[in-house]
Amino acid sequence: MSIDFKLELEKYFPVEHDSIYQIFDWEKIRNFLDFLESNNEKGGFFSRADSGLIWERHVLESVYHVYFILKKLPVSRETMVLDVGSGQGLPGFLFFCLQNPPQVILLDSGKKRLGLLESFCGENFSKNPDFCFRRVEDFKGKFDLVIMRSVIPYPWSIEMVFHLVKVGGYFIPFLGKLNLNQELESLFLKKFGFDFPETILLEELKFLGLRHLKFLKKVKEVRHSLQRDWSEIQKEIRKVNG
């Protein structure tokens, strides 16, 4: 693809473009973008309406999300990052595209989309993120940073990932509009061991619509004898949202 990433960043982020450009491996991002575009129909990555806007509406958005997280939190080669519901690899694969990437695991219960990325990586890179095809509630491990891009509605996403975040680590859901029941959010935070989050409106992404990040720090380990099944949580979501 012939896109000039430097010019694109300067166009969308006139103040921060140079800082963003310096932290990423743009050859990896170019290869990833080519993969998304050439496999979009086969993998069902994005809607037909978005098929010509994959860079602007999806990759560029995740680039800025990752950049902003690195402004707020220390991320090194030793940092363990888990992308829940990774699908075609967004946003987790963009952590792999950093100049100094952390340890990245891309998790998804289905292999249709993420399996294509796994094959692509095996053919194009000598070192790759780890791929795992399991349901999040059945997955085990402790991570410094767990991220999620609109897979499970917030704040129920807290319940789905709390067991995967280290004490002192963060869960950062990527959110659009915030039409939020604050009482319900407080209940989930307290129940699953998280501090009240810092909520940040990403003004720089207003050209895509409203975009928010929440930085939820895990402050204590909690033990629950039974973890609810996803089907039970879905029923609760439908009931609350009407």
Tell me the per-residue pLDDT of 118-170, one tens digit each, with 9 for 90 and over: 999 999 988 899 999 999 988 999 999 999 997 889 999 999 999 999 999 99
Tell me the per-residue pLDDT of 17-35, one tens digit each, with 9 for 90 and over: 999 999 999 999 999 999 9
Show the domain range for 28: 5-241
d(CA 28, CA 26): 5
Q: Does residue 213 carry a pLDDT above 90?
A: yes
Number of folded domains that form the chain: 1
- CATH, residue 47: 3.40.50.150
Q: Residue 151 has what pLDDT?
A: 83
> Mean pLDDT across the chain, nearest whole number?
93
Confidence of residue 48 (pLDDT cuts 50, 70, 90): confident
Q: Residue 182 has what pLDDT?
A: 87
Tell me the per-residue pLDDT of 57-77, one tens digit each, with 9 for 90 and over: 999 999 999 999 999 999 999
Q: Residue 177 has what pLDDT?
A: 81
Q: Residue 226 has what pLDDT?
A: 66
Q: Does residue 242 carry a pLDDT above 80?
A: no
Q: Residue 197 has what pLDDT?
A: 87
